[in-house]
Amino acid sequence: MPDFTEIQERELAALADDLSALDPGQWRAATLCGDWDVEEVLAHLGAATRLGRWGWIRSMAGARFDADLHNRRRLEEFRGATPQETLDRFRRAGTIVLPVKSSPAGLGEVIVHSEDIRKPLGLRHTPDAGGLLAVARFFATKDFAVNSKTLVKGLTLRATDADFQEGSGPEIRGPLLSLVMVMAGRTAFLADLSGDGVSELSSRLAS
């Protein structure tokens, strides 16, 4: 089984390196994560490394279980006075710690939010192959932070660049990273996919 903590460390460091040369306008660029700009997504991801299970529960309770309020409070807490300060804090951050260390859920959060930032900026990165495969299997078989299992129920997912196939029904083919991102609800990656299940998946995402 891959060491998900070690892979997270490498992926987080790679993202920090990719963002080290951004100009001020790029820090304010839109991302695939709702209305958040690049700095806000980075701060959200950094904030997630500071919250263990009980810290997350306390924060959610303090926000009356309003996830949007919880996320906004924590990202603003992590965010620096400038994008550079936010990036410096991010470089010093740890990894996302989950109660079950063998779960790839935290790595999934890192991979998805990293692509939320990279794709609109035109930055290319190839995630760790073993880690990405574990995240794909996790997303296809479990509803955790996103309802990925429910989203692809009754569909077959097949990667064209990795040994990955899950599900049954109309087939959806494409790069493994694109399959992972679509399972996380990112419609920008639908263009990378083909197969007779794509139209059904597109309808589900639209609804």
Per domain, the residue ranges of the chain are 4-121, 131-206
pTM reported for the whole predicted model:
0.91
Query: Which residue, 187, 178, 20, 10, is CA-closest to 110?
Result: 10
Looking up tokens 């950094």 gives 46
% of residues, the chain, pLDDT over 90: 74
What are the backbone dihedrals phi and psi of residue 86, each rounded to the nearest 5 degrees, phi first? -60, -45
Count CB neighbours of 7 within 10 A: 24
pLDDT digits (tens, 9 = 90+) for 126-173: 999 999 999 999 999 999 878 999 999 999 999 999 999 999 999 999
**What is the C-alpha separation between 42 and 12, in angstroms, rounded?**
10
Q: Between the CA atoms of 178, 183, 187 and 188, what dihedral angle is there, to the nearest 10 degrees?
A: -20
64 C-beta neighbours (distance < 10 Å), count: 8
In 22-128, which ranges are continuous DSSP H helix? 24-27, 38-48, 53-62, 67-78, 83-92, 105-121
How many residues belong to the chain?
207
Please state which CATH number belongs to domain 131-206: 3.30.1050
Task: Point out the least confidently predicted range of 61-70, 91-100, 190-199.
Answer: 61-70
Average pLDDT of the segment spanning 51-71: 67
Sign of CA dihedral 120, 122, 128, 134: positive
Res. 68 pLDDT band, cuts 50 70 90: confident
Q: Which residues contact 115 (CB under 8 A, 6 or more apart)?
A: 32, 125, 177, 181, 186
Q: Can you tell me the distance from the alpha carbon of 186 to that of 39, in angstroms, rounded to the nearest whole number?
A: 19
